[in-house]
Structure 1
Amino acid sequence: MFQQEPTMFPGPQVAAVLTTAIMLAGCTNATFPPSSSPALVDCGAAELQSKLGQPVGGGTATDASVGGVLVLSKGDVRVIAPGQAVIQNYSEDRLNLETDGSGKLLRATCG
Protein backbone atom coordinates (compact mmCIF):
# COMPACT_ATOMS: atom_id res chain seq x y z
CA MET A 1 0.00 0.00 0.00
CA PHE A 2 1.04 3.47 -0.64
CA GLN A 3 1.55 5.78 2.26
CA GLN A 4 0.70 9.45 1.68
CA GLU A 5 3.38 11.82 2.79
CA PRO A 6 2.27 14.65 5.07
CA THR A 7 2.21 18.10 3.50
CA MET A 8 2.85 21.50 5.02
CA PHE A 9 -0.28 23.02 3.48
CA PRO A 10 -3.88 22.24 4.46
CA GLY A 11 -6.29 20.87 1.95
CA PRO A 12 -8.07 23.18 -0.49
CA GLN A 13 -11.29 23.09 1.58
CA VAL A 14 -9.53 24.28 4.74
CA ALA A 15 -7.75 27.03 2.82
CA ALA A 16 -11.04 28.18 1.29
CA VAL A 17 -12.76 28.31 4.69
CA LEU A 18 -9.89 30.28 6.25
CA THR A 19 -9.76 32.72 3.34
CA THR A 20 -13.52 33.30 3.55
CA ALA A 21 -13.37 33.84 7.33
CA ILE A 22 -10.59 36.40 6.98
CA MET A 23 -12.45 38.26 4.23
CA LEU A 24 -15.68 38.35 6.23
CA ALA A 25 -13.88 39.63 9.32
CA GLY A 26 -13.11 42.82 7.40
CA CYS A 27 -16.82 43.35 6.73
CA THR A 28 -17.97 43.56 10.34
CA ASN A 29 -19.24 46.80 11.82
CA ALA A 30 -17.21 47.97 14.78
CA THR A 31 -19.19 49.80 17.43
CA PHE A 32 -17.62 51.99 20.05
CA PRO A 33 -19.16 53.05 23.35
CA PRO A 34 -20.40 56.64 23.42
CA SER A 35 -17.95 59.18 24.74
CA SER A 36 -18.56 60.46 28.24
CA SER A 37 -17.80 64.02 27.13
CA PRO A 38 -20.07 65.96 24.78
CA ALA A 39 -18.96 66.57 21.22
CA LEU A 40 -17.67 70.09 20.74
CA VAL A 41 -19.22 72.14 17.95
CA ASP A 42 -16.29 74.57 17.93
CA CYS A 43 -13.08 75.05 19.92
CA GLY A 44 -15.10 74.83 23.14
CA ALA A 45 -16.20 78.48 23.33
CA ALA A 46 -19.90 77.75 22.73
CA GLU A 47 -20.01 75.55 25.83
CA LEU A 48 -18.73 78.42 27.99
CA GLN A 49 -21.18 81.18 27.02
CA SER A 50 -23.35 80.36 30.04
CA LYS A 51 -20.33 80.67 32.37
CA LEU A 52 -19.45 84.33 31.76
CA GLY A 53 -18.54 86.06 35.02
CA GLN A 54 -17.22 82.91 36.68
CA PRO A 55 -13.58 82.62 37.84
CA VAL A 56 -11.00 81.24 35.43
CA GLY A 57 -8.20 79.02 36.69
CA GLY A 58 -5.20 77.35 35.08
CA GLY A 59 -3.87 78.34 31.72
CA THR A 60 -3.30 75.28 29.59
CA ALA A 61 -5.51 72.75 27.80
CA THR A 62 -4.93 70.28 30.63
CA ASP A 63 -5.70 72.49 33.62
CA ALA A 64 -7.87 75.43 32.48
CA SER A 65 -11.12 75.70 34.37
CA VAL A 66 -14.11 78.03 34.53
CA GLY A 67 -16.15 78.07 37.70
CA GLY A 68 -14.04 75.21 39.07
CA VAL A 69 -14.89 72.89 36.14
CA LEU A 70 -12.22 71.85 33.63
CA VAL A 71 -12.91 73.22 30.16
CA LEU A 72 -13.04 71.07 27.03
CA SER A 73 -11.17 72.27 23.98
CA LYS A 74 -10.15 70.80 20.64
CA GLY A 75 -6.76 72.49 20.90
CA ASP A 76 -4.74 74.88 23.02
CA VAL A 77 -6.32 77.06 25.70
CA ARG A 78 -5.12 80.61 26.16
CA VAL A 79 -6.11 82.65 29.23
CA ILE A 80 -5.81 86.35 28.42
CA ALA A 81 -5.63 88.92 31.21
CA PRO A 82 -6.46 92.61 30.65
CA GLY A 83 -3.65 94.38 28.78
CA GLN A 84 -1.80 91.13 28.09
CA ALA A 85 -0.07 91.03 24.72
CA VAL A 86 -1.04 88.03 22.58
CA ILE A 87 0.07 86.86 19.17
CA GLN A 88 -2.63 87.43 16.56
CA ASN A 89 -2.24 84.23 14.52
CA TYR A 90 -5.56 82.44 14.08
CA SER A 91 -6.04 78.81 15.12
CA GLU A 92 -9.64 77.60 14.87
CA ASP A 93 -9.08 74.92 17.52
CA ARG A 94 -7.56 77.30 20.11
CA LEU A 95 -9.85 78.46 22.93
CA ASN A 96 -9.27 82.01 24.15
CA LEU A 97 -10.53 82.84 27.64
CA GLU A 98 -10.48 86.61 28.16
CA THR A 99 -10.66 87.63 31.81
CA ASP A 100 -11.28 90.85 33.73
CA GLY A 101 -8.97 92.27 36.41
CA SER A 102 -10.31 89.86 39.02
CA GLY A 103 -9.82 86.77 36.83
CA LYS A 104 -13.47 86.28 35.86
CA LEU A 105 -14.46 85.19 32.36
CA LEU A 106 -15.45 88.09 30.09
CA ARG A 107 -15.40 86.32 26.75
CA ALA A 108 -14.68 82.86 25.31
CA THR A 109 -13.73 82.76 21.65
CA CYS A 110 -12.01 80.55 19.12
CA GLY A 111 -8.85 81.71 17.46
Structure 2
Amino acid sequence: MGHAAPLRAPDLKGAVTEAEWEARVDLAACYRLMAVFGFTDLIYNHITLSVPGDPGHFLINPYGRFYDEVTASSLHVVDLEGNVIRRGDPDNGVNRAGYVIHSAVHAARKDAACVIHTHTR
Protein backbone atom coordinates (compact mmCIF):
# COMPACT_ATOMS: atom_id res chain seq x y z
CA MET A 1 0.00 0.00 0.00
CA GLY A 2 0.99 3.64 -0.31
CA HIS A 3 2.91 3.50 -3.61
CA ALA A 4 2.92 7.10 -4.83
CA ALA A 5 4.67 10.20 -3.56
CA PRO A 6 3.49 11.48 -0.18
CA LEU A 7 0.10 13.13 -0.39
CA ARG A 8 0.17 16.89 -0.17
CA ALA A 9 -3.44 17.79 0.54
CA PRO A 10 -4.58 20.71 2.67
CA ASP A 11 -6.43 19.80 5.85
CA LEU A 12 -10.00 20.64 4.91
CA LYS A 13 -11.59 19.79 8.24
CA GLY A 14 -13.04 23.06 9.49
CA ALA A 15 -12.84 24.58 5.99
CA VAL A 16 -15.96 22.72 4.83
CA THR A 17 -19.34 22.19 6.44
CA GLU A 18 -19.73 19.46 9.01
CA ALA A 19 -21.99 17.57 6.61
CA GLU A 20 -19.43 17.77 3.81
CA TRP A 21 -16.65 16.67 6.14
CA GLU A 22 -18.69 13.63 7.21
CA ALA A 23 -19.34 12.79 3.55
CA ARG A 24 -15.62 13.12 2.81
CA VAL A 25 -14.71 10.77 5.66
CA ASP A 26 -17.32 8.24 4.52
CA LEU A 27 -16.16 8.38 0.89
CA ALA A 28 -12.48 8.06 1.81
CA ALA A 29 -13.40 5.03 3.94
CA CYS A 30 -15.26 3.54 0.97
CA TYR A 31 -12.18 3.95 -1.24
CA ARG A 32 -10.04 2.27 1.42
CA LEU A 33 -12.55 -0.60 1.78
CA MET A 34 -12.54 -1.11 -1.99
CA ALA A 35 -8.76 -1.53 -1.75
CA VAL A 36 -8.99 -3.92 1.20
CA PHE A 37 -11.55 -6.11 -0.57
CA GLY A 38 -9.67 -6.15 -3.88
CA PHE A 39 -12.01 -4.09 -6.05
CA THR A 40 -9.07 -2.22 -7.57
CA ASP A 41 -7.51 -4.94 -9.71
CA LEU A 42 -8.35 -3.17 -12.95
CA ILE A 43 -8.09 0.55 -13.78
CA TYR A 44 -10.62 3.33 -14.16
CA ASN A 45 -12.85 2.49 -11.22
CA HIS A 46 -14.49 5.46 -9.52
CA ILE A 47 -16.62 6.24 -6.52
CA THR A 48 -18.40 9.57 -6.16
CA LEU A 49 -20.64 11.03 -3.49
CA SER A 50 -22.95 14.01 -3.64
CA VAL A 51 -21.95 16.92 -1.43
CA PRO A 52 -24.71 17.38 1.16
CA GLY A 53 -26.40 20.76 0.80
CA ASP A 54 -24.70 21.52 -2.56
CA PRO A 55 -26.96 20.24 -5.34
CA GLY A 56 -25.00 19.40 -8.48
CA HIS A 57 -21.67 19.02 -6.65
CA PHE A 58 -19.99 15.72 -5.93
CA LEU A 59 -16.77 14.39 -4.43
CA ILE A 60 -14.33 12.37 -6.53
CA ASN A 61 -10.86 10.93 -5.95
CA PRO A 62 -7.70 12.61 -7.20
CA TYR A 63 -6.60 10.88 -10.40
CA GLY A 64 -3.28 9.10 -10.03
CA ARG A 65 -3.66 8.07 -6.40
CA PHE A 66 -4.19 4.51 -5.25
CA TYR A 67 -7.42 3.85 -3.38
CA ASP A 68 -5.52 3.14 -0.18
CA GLU A 69 -4.09 6.68 -0.38
CA VAL A 70 -7.39 8.54 -0.60
CA THR A 71 -8.13 10.75 2.40
CA ALA A 72 -11.05 12.97 3.31
CA SER A 73 -8.96 16.06 2.52
CA SER A 74 -7.58 14.77 -0.80
CA LEU A 75 -10.97 14.46 -2.48
CA HIS A 76 -11.98 17.04 -5.10
CA VAL A 77 -15.40 18.66 -5.41
CA VAL A 78 -16.65 18.98 -9.00
CA ASP A 79 -19.89 20.24 -10.45
CA LEU A 80 -22.02 18.66 -13.16
CA GLU A 81 -20.28 20.77 -15.83
CA GLY A 82 -16.83 19.45 -14.86
CA ASN A 83 -15.57 22.50 -13.01
CA VAL A 84 -13.37 21.77 -10.02
CA ILE A 85 -15.06 23.66 -7.21
CA ARG A 86 -12.60 22.70 -4.48
CA ARG A 87 -9.26 20.97 -4.98
CA GLY A 88 -8.13 18.46 -2.43
CA ASP A 89 -4.89 16.92 -3.70
CA PRO A 90 -2.97 19.80 -5.35
CA ASP A 91 -0.78 17.40 -7.36
CA ASN A 92 -3.50 15.38 -9.10
CA GLY A 93 -6.57 16.42 -11.05
CA VAL A 94 -9.81 14.72 -11.96
CA ASN A 95 -10.05 11.82 -14.39
CA ARG A 96 -12.19 13.06 -17.29
CA ALA A 97 -13.77 9.66 -18.00
CA GLY A 98 -14.73 9.26 -14.34
CA TYR A 99 -16.26 12.72 -14.27
CA VAL A 100 -18.25 12.14 -17.48
CA ILE A 101 -19.81 8.87 -16.36
CA HIS A 102 -20.51 9.96 -12.80
CA SER A 103 -21.83 13.44 -13.65
CA ALA A 104 -24.38 11.83 -15.98
CA VAL A 105 -25.58 9.50 -13.22
CA HIS A 106 -25.67 12.26 -10.59
CA ALA A 107 -27.60 14.54 -12.99
CA ALA A 108 -30.13 11.86 -13.93
CA ARG A 109 -30.56 10.30 -10.48
CA LYS A 110 -30.58 12.94 -7.78
CA ASP A 111 -31.67 10.20 -5.35
CA ALA A 112 -28.43 8.26 -5.98
CA ALA A 113 -26.10 10.07 -3.60
CA CYS A 114 -23.25 7.57 -4.05
CA VAL A 115 -22.18 6.07 -7.37
CA ILE A 116 -19.68 3.20 -7.56
CA HIS A 117 -18.33 2.08 -10.92
CA THR A 118 -15.81 -0.76 -11.15
CA HIS A 119 -14.24 -2.95 -13.80
CA THR A 120 -13.40 -5.66 -11.30
CA ARG A 121 -13.11 -9.17 -12.62
TM-score, normalised via structure 2 length: 0.24
Q: Which structure has the larger Rg over C-alpha atoms?
A: 1
TM-score, normalised via structure 1 length: 0.26
Point out the structure with the larger helix share: 2
Say which structure, 1 or 2, has more relative contact order (CA 8 Å, 6+ apart). 2
